[in-house]
Amino acid sequence: MKARVHVMLKNGVLDPQGEAVRHALGTLGFEGVNGVRQGKVIELDLAETDPEAARAQVARMCETLLANTVIESYTVEIA
Amino acid sequence: MKARVHVMLKNGVLDPQGEAVRHALGTLGFEGVNGVRQGKVIELDLAETDPEAARAQVARMCETLLANTVIESYTVEIA
């Protein structure tokens, strides 16, 4: 079973990577870019076959390792 | 208009970040993790209002800045 996790900085937390990308896009001549946020995507290949069990397992992974929940939020997609 | 870009290492390209996460999950007691790939997600807030024009603009951004197309592939979602 495949799972995909998105980890993004929470709103209000300064995102220097995103700001750097926004600035670089402007330098390259791309106009109309109002904001950029950069995060991580983690694709997991799990042995678990039950979607709900897989979702719960991945949520535990996020809480313990994949996301810093003080400043980051995460979403889990099971496919 | 919002756009979301996923940038992942191509299949066959060694992913040390993903391997580090897989190993760390095993150390933490998570079993049944067969593989992990880690990539980037970039969320863009664009002034462009036409979906097709926005998609073309973001594809150009990927080709010139956001992805290293030698080793990375990208997907664009417009929302």
How does pLDDT run along chain B (79 residues), one tens digit per residue? 999 999 999 999 999 999 999 999 999 999 999 999 999 999 999 999 999 999 999 999 999 999 999 999 999 999 8
How far is the CA of A75 from the CAs of A18, A60, B31, B61, in angstroms?
A: 19, 12, 21, 25
Write the CA distances from B71 to A47, A66, B5, B21, B79, integer angstroms: 28, 24, 16, 20, 27
What gap in Å lies between CA B52 and CA B60, rounded to an integer? 13
**CB pair distance less than 8 Å for A40 and B36:** no
Which pLDDT value is given to residue A43?
Answer: 98
DSSP string, B16-62: HHHHHHHHHHHHTT---EEEEEEEEEEEEEES---HHHHHHHHHHHI
First to last CA, chain A: 7
pLDDT of residue A65: 98
Domain boundary assignment for chain A: 2-78
**Is A53 in CB contact (< 8 Å) with chain B?**
no
Q: What beta strand segments (E) does chain A contain? A: 2-9, 33-46, 72-78
Six-digit token string for B71: 């080793």
Place A13 in a pLDDT band, splitting at 50, 70 and 90.
very high
* Chain segment A30-76, per-residue pLDDT in tens: 999 999 999 999 999 999 999 999 999 999 999 999 999 999 999 99
Instruction: Using an 8 Å CB-CB cutoff, list chain B residues near A42.
Output: 18, 21, 36-39
Q: Does domain A2-78 match CATH 3.30.1280.10? A: yes
Residue of A43, A60, A62, A65 best to disrupt the B interface, most CBs of B under 10 A: A43
